[in-house]
Amino acid sequence: MFEQREILQIDYVPSEKRIVGRDEQIEKVAEEIGPIVVGKPPNSIIIYGKTGCGKSLVAKHVSKIAREEAENRDVKLATGYINCQQAKGNSDALSKYGRAINPPESGVKFPARGISENEYFERVWSVLNEFYDAAIIVLDEVDKLNNDDLLMALSRAGEDGSVDVPIGVIAVSNKINYRDKMSERTKSSFGHNEFIFEPYDAEQIREILQNRTDAFVDGVLEEGVIPRAAALSAKEHGDARKAMRLLRYAGDQANKENAERVKESHLSDARASAESDRLLELISGLPPHSKHVLVALANLSQNHPDREWFRTMRIREMYLNICDQSGADPLSTERTRQLLNELCFLEIAGSRRGTGEGKGHYSQYTLLWDADIVLTLET
């Protein structure tokens, strides 16, 4: 079924003509980063938005275009992309960036482990000072780092004399409240601008998928497959990643059946696998207590199939049981509520407000995913 299956992979970076519905966002991000192409200090930025709305795509694209434009101006621009969810802390992130920008002739080594965080910084600074006129670093899922020390160091590197070249940071986060968790010193030093990306609509997702049909052998996609995949993805999440995953799995399903064409029915068959993979992607980077809260909500949903909504204290009771079983020290009631709200932002859970018998209000939460899938992934 496939001619170029990699085109439907999540980490595939498309050419500019394949990017849909993000022209305005690309322009705004480029305006902030723009001075870097002539070796001048840019404005660092944070991009917020839900999974699959084009944040990483835009960050990578602007970084790539900036490098090409700088090269045309004889400006040596270092660029590197770090997925902080995959990095094991600041040292690992610095090591990955160092290897991305390190020219063979430098003689500097960036081992995966074995040296201090300060030494990683020193080696990055030395490479930048000797071989480059400016630098961009993309920190995807920056909220997954243990602290904001890396942002602080990058934003102050020029001011404290660590490095002689301007550095632009493009940070990406699914958590819109990430700025609230930054220290005041980092907020002041980073001095960033912020952009919020909205989810794609059905027409945009349809166009995204249409632009990638060359992933398949010509003529194997039935006419209704692209519109159906786009409609399903837009209705539930507005997530382009999910749409591409769903289309890819439909092709795999057709291959398994030795079918001659990919049909709408293959989308239905592939949907369960796509759902499991997307949920795993959403929860894989969650801290342990967020997962405990999620499992508590899933257990309640499974044990009470006649009920859809559960109050905070009922979820907390189940959460305390899970903590007791796992030997974890439970967090406060307020922190439990915050974790539930974070699950809502990720569209793993939903929330609503209720009114008690008196004048008080209370919160209720519901699981937006199949409880069996959640418990299978977390047990």
Residue 361 CB neighbour total at 10 angstroms: 9
Side chain identity at residue 190, one-letter code: F
- Residue 119: both structure tokens together: 């030494």
From 154, 164, 142, select the one nearest 117 (Cα to Cα): 154
Strands (E), 112-253: 134-140, 167-173, 193-197
Query: What is the spatial distance between Cα 9 and Cα 231, in angstroms, rounded to a whole number?
Result: 20
Q: In the chain, where are the structural domains located?
A: 22-196, 202-281, 286-377
pLDDT value for 376: 80
pLDDT value for 18: 74
From 379, 297, 377, select the one nearest 341 (Cα to Cα): 297
From 269, 297, 303, select the one nearest 283 (Cα to Cα): 297
pLDDT value for 360: 63
- The binding site for ATP consists of 200, 212
pTM of the entire predicted model: 0.71
pLDDT value for 79: 95
What is residue 194's three-state secondary structure?
Answer: strand
Residue 328: alpha-carbon gap to chain centroid:
28
Instruction: Measure Cα distances from 215 to 165, 316, 323, 355 in Å.
Output: 41, 46, 46, 52
Looking at the domain covering 22-196, what would its CATH class be?
alpha beta
pLDDT value for 182: 83
pLDDT in tens, the chain (379 residues): 888 888 888 667 777 777 888 899 999 999 999 999 999 999 999 999 888 889 999 999 999 999 999 999 999 999 999 999 888 889 999 999 999 999 999 989 999 888 999 999 999 999 999 999 999 999 999 988 888 889 989 988 888 888 999 999 999 998 877 887 888 888 887 777 899 998 888 888 899 898 888 899 999 999 999 998 888 887 766 788 888 888 998 998 888 899 899 998 888 878 777 777 778 877 877 889 999 999 999 999 999 988 989 999 999 999 999 999 999 999 999 999 999 988 987 778 988 887 665 556 788 999 988 888 888 876 5
| CB proximity list for 256: less than 8 A, separation 6 or greater | none
From 183, 116, 174, select the one nearest 148 (Cα to Cα): 183
Phi, psi of 353 (to 5 degrees): -105, 140
> Rounded to the nearest 5 degrees, what angle is found at the Cα of 372, between the Cα atoms of 353 and 332?
45
Residue 114, class by beta-carbon neighbours within 10 Å (0-12 exposed, 13-18 middle, 19+ buried)?
exposed
Query: What is the spatial distance between Cα 271 and Cα 252, in angstroms, rounded to a whole number?
Result: 12
CATH 1.10.10.10, applies to 286-377: yes
| CB proximity list for 59: less than 8 A, separation 6 or greater | 29, 47, 81, 138, 140, 170, 172
Strand-pairing partners, residue 167, are: 135
Check: CB of residue 339 under 8 Å from CB of residue 289.
Answer: yes
- The binding site consists of 200, 212
Residue 235 CB neighbour total at 10 angstroms: 9
- Fold classification of 202-281 is Helicase, Ruva Protein; domain 3 (1.10.8)
- Residue 332: both structure tokens together: 């406060």
- Residue 322: both structure tokens together: 């899970």
pLDDT value for 356: 61
Query: What is the spatial distance between Cα 221 and Cα 35, in angstroms, rounded to a whole number?
Result: 44
From 219, 272, 218, 277, select the one nearest 250 (Cα to Cα): 272
- Residue 198: both structure tokens together: 């909205």
Instruction: Measure Cα distances from 316 to 52, 322, 377 in Å.
Output: 30, 10, 21
Residue 325 CB neighbour total at 10 angstroms: 9
pLDDT value for 379: 59
